[in-house]
């Protein structure tokens, strides 16, 4: 996700710290329904820290077993986990009739996750340096179909959430993923860590933010 082991380690630590702060902020705001989505930066931070280990494995500075475990852990988070976690977290944070759409997208994410998990579990995950980035090879079946479902479940759930900040996050992730993928193909530099950092900052703000028209927890208890 970053351009070196050192960059991944630093960025991962900062993003994970933002995740802890988001969880604390959502808890203090009395919004337990926001905790799953507030935890996303923590997941992204751990993901980057794992990739720092993967980088070391490409330089033969780690035993083969540890390097392979790091690559597999990276793939588990990136592939089967995120397409379920993100729409499910949006579903938890959404109220009223709007919950039906993220609920359906959570089911879509689970359907996408099954073949992705099977691919990760049945084939060794490899990683190789690609310019200033890492390229992973997993052997995913029907990649175009699964990618479309993946993006619909993740980005789509944010766009239909009804929350202004989450819609902005969906637009940011959608546009950012396009730019990051282009730069990766050019082997110029990996900018996924910058996207993870921006996502984490927006979620940190959102975790304790009072949505327009929503009652405060104190007001809800008073009624």
For residue 138, is it within any domain? yes
Phi and psi at 127, nearest 5°, equal: -140, 140
Report the pLDDT averaged over residues 44-61. Answer: 93
CATH at residue 55: 1.20.1070
Q: How many CA atoms, within 13 angstroms, populate the side-chain half-sphere of residue 204?
A: 16
Model-level pTM?
Answer: 0.89
Q: How far apart are the C-alpha atoms of 186 and 132, rounded to whole Å?
A: 10
For residue 77, is it within any domain? yes
Residue-range definition of the domain harbouring residue 47:
5-210
For 57, the token pair is 């494995």
For residue 188, is it within any domain? yes
For residue 64, is it within any domain? yes
For residue 140, is it within any domain? yes
- Pair 157, 119: CB distance under 8 Å: no
Q: How far apart are the C-alpha atoms of 195 and 169, rounded to whole Å?
A: 10
Number of domains the chain is built from: 1
Dihedral of alpha carbons 65, 10, 192, 99, sign = positive
For residue 98, is it within any domain? yes
Between the alpha carbon of residue 176 and those of residues 53, 76, 89, 103, 144, the distances in Å are 24, 22, 20, 25, 19
Report the pLDDT averaged over residues 109-120. Answer: 97
For residue 119, is it within any domain? yes
Q: 4 or 42, which is more confident?
A: 42
Q: 125-167: per-residue pLDDT in tens? A: 999 887 778 888 898 889 999 999 999 999 999 999 999 999 9
């Amino acid at each position: 996700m970053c351009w070196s082991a050192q960059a991944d380690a630093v960025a991962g630590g900062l993003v994970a710290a933002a995740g802890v702060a988001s969880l604390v902020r959502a808890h203090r705001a009395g919004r337990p329904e926001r905790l799953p989505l507030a935890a996303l930066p923590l997941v992204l931070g751990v993901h980057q820290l794992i990739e720092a280990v993967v980088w070391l494995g490409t330089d033969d500075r780690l035993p083969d077993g540890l390097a392979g475990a790091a690559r597999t852990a990276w793939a588990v988070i990136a592939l089967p986990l995120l397409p379920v976690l993100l729409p499910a977290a949006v579903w938890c944070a959404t109220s009223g009739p709007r919950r039906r759409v993220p609920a359906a997208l959570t089911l879509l994410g689970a359907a996408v996750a099954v073949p992705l998990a099977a691919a990760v579990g049945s084939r060794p995950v490899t990683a190789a340096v690609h310019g200033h980035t890492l390229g992973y090879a997993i052997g995913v079946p029907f990649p175009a179909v699964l990618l479309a479902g993946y993006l619909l479940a993740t980005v789509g759930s944010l766009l239909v959430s009804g929350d202004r900040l989450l819609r902005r996050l969906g637009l940011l992730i959608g546009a950012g993923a396009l730019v990051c993928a282009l730069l990766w193909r050019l082997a110029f530099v990996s900018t996924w860590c910058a996207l993870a950092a921006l996502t984490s900052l927006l979620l940190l703000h959102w975790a304790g933010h009072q949505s327009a028209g929503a009652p405060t927890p104190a007001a809800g208890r008073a009624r």
